[in-house]
Amino acid sequence: MDNNWTLRPEFWNDDWTDLPEWKFEQGLRLSDRSTRTWVVKLTFVKNGNECTGTGFFVNLPGANIIIKEGEPGIPVDVILTAGHNLIDHGRMRTTDLKIHFLAVQQEETKDEGDQGHKEHRKIQDLEQIVEIEDAWRVCISPPYENDPRERKRDSKHDWGAIFISQEGEHHHPGFQLNLFYALNTKDGHGPVDDLLKACNVHVEGYRIGTKVGSPAVSSGKGEVKTPHQLQYHAETEQGISGSPVWAASNGQEVVLAIHTTGQLPKKSGGVRLSYEVLDTLFRWTNVGYRSSTLRVHHRVKNPNSKPTKSNAGKSKEPKKTPLDPLYLRFPDPDSDAVVRLGKDRQNTAFDIIPAVTQYGNDRLLYAFRVSHPASWAKQRGTEHLWVVWDSDRDRAVLSPTLHASSLVILEPKKTNGLQQPLRDFWLVTAGPDGQSKRELAMGWNGIDEDDVFLGVPIESSEVSFQPVKRIAGVHQFVFEAFD
């Protein structure tokens, strides 16, 4: 028999195994949002001079800053800006830093015609000023803080973040963060290249003397100059540094870069919100989960025996016995995921990071990136390996390309209608629009517990996706630190 036999091409179709192609839709959809409330004016003192700059809010639900180890983090809203707005060339941080922005004021009214239904009516936008006094409220890209050569062009590290305390239950609205547009592309082909070819970018910021609430906007074509730099034909001037460079995608205003440099002579430039920038921001704000395994939350033996009678004559359910934990595991970078019994030889760990944030939605869409074994990505000739949850074929695979099927919602359980902190959760597949699709299930019917004594691999291919039901105790998972 010929061991090298393969199926002839005419009897094979890539559609049987490949994931469907997809692209983001470009543009907005009947949007009535005003980005002027998302863009902020900065005033500060630098080298003894009063200066003006720009920053902007981004959507990052769950962002928090831990001040003291062991204590809960402080919920914050996140503002991004240029690093040179926060530090001078002598490595001295700017002083007297103030954030000026429009705060949407609302009045709660009672509609008697609807049985006391409460409505929120917008009164007006009022200027709000927040003075930044605590050092922990400002973070600067570490390489830039160590070497802030003020006018060095094309610095990929010229950026930082300002954190202000979140007011109320919801974060301040802002621009979308999108990991798809942050990743490097090959040969000019990728989501960010498609977006820049189809749409103009907009630079929105405060010129010197401009009043709060009236940022200036310039638009033009953009291009990825380097993996860390975006270049664009948009008019800019002093005071605009730190502005968002954004475009319209999939009905959202997505930020692609932070404006840092003026025209050269007809092009401006900014620090791209690359994977490295977003990863640093997520670490600062404690969003996401690092080097973690995915484990079935609570697995008990499902007895088939009938209820027994107690001494009192009442039926008594058989005692459920806790079993060894089950993990999601990839045997190698080219294999489908399997269900693994026990931690022995459980070699797969992930970084679970926000991939897409959405306006008006406090729910993040996450992606799983392989963090261990670290050599797998290099083995596949790529920077990253992403989990693709192929619910149509009941499988999970690894891909060097982030795909729409990589997006998942981590849905925590609710108690008395209130969402609880993320301890145990359902993993629900979702597209870029954030709509729930199917929930992950991991079975163990094909695993014989006694095989562990025979040296037989204690794994099963029972990775599947079920209709979303969110039944407590069923198909729930936890993250566990990788040892």
Domain extents for the chain? 35-109+117-284, 289-303+320-481
- pLDDT at 414 > cutoff 80: no
The average pLDDT across 348-366 equals 89
- pLDDT at 202 > cutoff 90: yes
Please state, in angstroms and rounded to a whole number, the distance separating the CA atoms of residues 385 and 364.
Answer: 20
The least confident of 163-167, 318-322, 381-385 is 318-322
What's the pLDDT band for 152 if we cut at 50, 70, 90? low
DSSP string, 132-179: ---GGGEEE-HHHHH---TT-TT-TT--EEEEEEPPSSSPPP-BBPBG
Are the C-beta atoms of residues 49 and 92 closer than 8 Å to each other?
A: no
- pLDDT at 1 > cutoff 50: no
- pLDDT at 82 > cutoff 80: yes
More confident residue, 327 or 311: 327
pLDDT score, position 6: 45
Q: Domain 35-109+117-284 is of which CATH architecture?
A: Beta Barrel (2.40)
pLDDT score, position 393: 92
Domains 35-109+117-284 and 289-303+320-481 are alike in CATH topology: no
Beta strand 222-226 pairing with 216-220: unpaired
- What pTM was computed for the model? 0.86
- pLDDT at 314 > cutoff 60: no
pLDDT score, position 475: 84
Nearest residue to 446 via CA among 459, 465, 463, 464: 459
Please state, in angstroms and rounded to a whole number, the distance separating the CA atoms of residues 255 and 415.
Answer: 35
pLDDT score, position 28: 58
Among 31-45, 112-126, 127-141, name the most confident range.
127-141
Nearest residue to 357 via CA among 271, 433, 246: 433
What's the pLDDT band for 373 if we cut at 50, 70, 90? very high
pLDDT score, position 16: 42
Per DSSP, which regions of 359-473 are E strands?
Answer: 361-372, 386-390, 395-399, 408-412, 414-415, 418-419, 425-430, 436-442, 459-460, 463-467
Using DSSP, state whether 83 is helix, strand or coil: helix
What's the pLDDT band for 320 if we cut at 50, 70, 90? very low
Among the CATH numbers 2.80.10.50, 2.40.50.140, 3.40.50.1260, 2.30.30.100, which is that of 289-303+320-481?
A: 2.80.10.50
Nearest residue to 299 via CA among 321, 330, 328: 321
| Max Cα-Cα span within the chain | 91
The least confident of 142-146, 191-195, 344-348 is 344-348
The mean pLDDT of the chain is: 82
Question: What are the pLDDT digits (tens) for 258-268?
Answer: 999 876 667 89
pLDDT score, position 3: 46
Please state, in angstroms and rounded to a whole number, the distance separating the CA atoms of residues 406 and 336.
Answer: 14
pLDDT score, position 126: 82
The least confident of 54-63, 257-266, 365-374 is 257-266
pLDDT score, position 119: 52
What's the pLDDT band for 466 if we cut at 50, 70, 90? very high
The least confident of 106-120, 332-346, 364-378, 448-462 is 106-120
More confident residue, 28 or 14: 28
pLDDT score, position 151: 54
- pLDDT at 305 > cutoff 80: no
Instruction: Say whether the peptide bond before residue 432 is cis (omega within 30 degrees of 0).
Output: no
